[in-house]
Amino acid sequence: MSAAQHSYPPGTVMLALGTKRGLFLVTSQDRVHWDVQATTLQGRRVFNAILDQRAGRRLFAAENGDFFGAFLRYSDDFGQTWQEPKRGIQFPPDSRLKLQNIWVVEPGRQDEPDIVYAGVDPASLWVSADRGETWEPNHALLSHPTRDRWEPGAGGLCLHTIIADPTNPLRMWIGISAVGCLRTDDGGQSWVFANKNTRADFLPERYPEFGQCIHRLVQHPTRPEVLYQQNHCGIYKSLNAGEEWQDIQQNLPSEFGFPIALDRQHPDTLYVMVEDPQGRHNIGSQLTVYRTTNAGESWEPLTKGLPSGTQVKLGVLRHGLCTDGKDPCGVYVGTNTGQLFASSDGGERWELITDFLPPIYSVTATILGEA
């Protein structure tokens, strides 16, 4: 039975798994029993996918083909059939830019259900005002005065994180590797750097205006000025919309990691998965999710049900960790070797939901019936 032929009652938790070889949907009514289904988007790299429920149920997927280009496709039948945009993400020919990969797709604010954002390599923000049928670049970012000095990270010059402030229609943040965090306060007409006190230990200047390798950024759901980021060089918190940051690595055993996620019902609770920066896998012989319940004052390791042993060398990419918004919080971890782990109690206990998937690039969680 395909994903589209399933009926999904309200309350179903749906995980969209973007992998190196296609998109999978993983669903559960009780977060105990899980069902794994392949969509028809198979054989291609899917960096990111998300179900948008603001106006119907539209599943977006950032498909990056090995041969024939990158496309932000959408499906209105849970991945059974896919549409290509009428005018997709393509740079103006005179820009001399070439789309490499589409890294992230992010639905806009609740009160603008037709708006969808996408971030790509080379670093640019794209906006659709018609639910993904046509796309336009943000020109202020394309012509940013510092752009010719932006340098890519190992994954490319990718715009991987987009946050549209739900309380301020003119404010957004984006994350670009290895440029850093940028903010607009005028609806995308201009962008300023928001990297003060974040380190770039790989550059001659340790605290530059830009050039930091931000890996992931999240916003507090009720205090919009509060942001958290996992960076190549540290874990940080901002209390003033990114004007300045404070290091909250505290007792974490590494400053290096990719993902960060937040419990929306208890937003002082966050999760990270710091790694060995050389091997880019779990530290030591225990896969560990680290949790703070006091907004980064201290961190505790969560390991119950997660694998251990000298052979355990698991990596989690920047979009590979997410939460589901329920209480207690569901937390989901997809590894770059194809394991999916889940916790339905805020990380206390973990289960291996499925194995042998292709390398997992991203996991997003949606509760059906809730936008």
Partner 1 sequence: MSVVTVFFPSVLHAKVGQQAAVTVKGHTVREVIDALEDDFPGLRFHLCYETGELRPFVNIFVQRINIRSLQGLETPVPPGAKLQILPSVAGG
| Contacting positions for partner 1 (CB under 8 A) | 66-69, 84, 88, 90-93, 95-99
Residues in the chain: 371
In the complex, least distance from residue 182 CB atom to partner 1, rounded to whole angstroms: 23
**Cβ(88)–Cβ(76) below 8 Å:** no
Using the minimum distance from each CB to partner 1, give the nearer residue, 90 or 168.
90
CA terminus-to-terminus distance, the chain: 26
Burial grade of 160 (CB within 10 A; 0-12, 13-18, 19 or more): buried
Using the minimum distance from each CB to partner 1, give the nearer residue, 132 or 259.
132
Using the minimum distance from each CB to partner 1, give the nearer residue, 137 or 296.
137
In the complex, least distance from residue 73 CB atom to partner 1, rounded to whole angstroms: 12
φ/ψ of 118, rounded to 5, equals -140, 145
Give, in degrees to the nearest 5, the angle at Cα 269 between 104 and 283.
75
Using the minimum distance from each CB to partner 1, give the nearer residue, 72 or 329.
72
**Cβ(78)–Cβ(119) below 8 Å:** no
Q: Residue 102 belongs to what H/E stretch? A: strand 101-107
Using the minimum distance from each CB to partner 1, give the nearer residue, 45 or 326.
45
In the complex, least distance from residue 52 CB atom to partner 1, rounded to whole angstroms: 23
- Output the CA torsion 172→326→230→45 (10° steps): -80
Q: Classify residue 4 by its DSSP letter.
A: G
In the complex, least distance from residue 98 CB atom to partner 1, rounded to whole angstroms: 4
Pairwise CA distance, residues 307 & 185, whole Å: 44
In the complex, least distance from residue 93 CB atom to partner 1, rounded to whole angstroms: 5
In the complex, least distance from residue 78 CB atom to partner 1, rounded to whole angstroms: 20
Using the minimum distance from each CB to partner 1, give the nearer residue, 67 or 356.
67
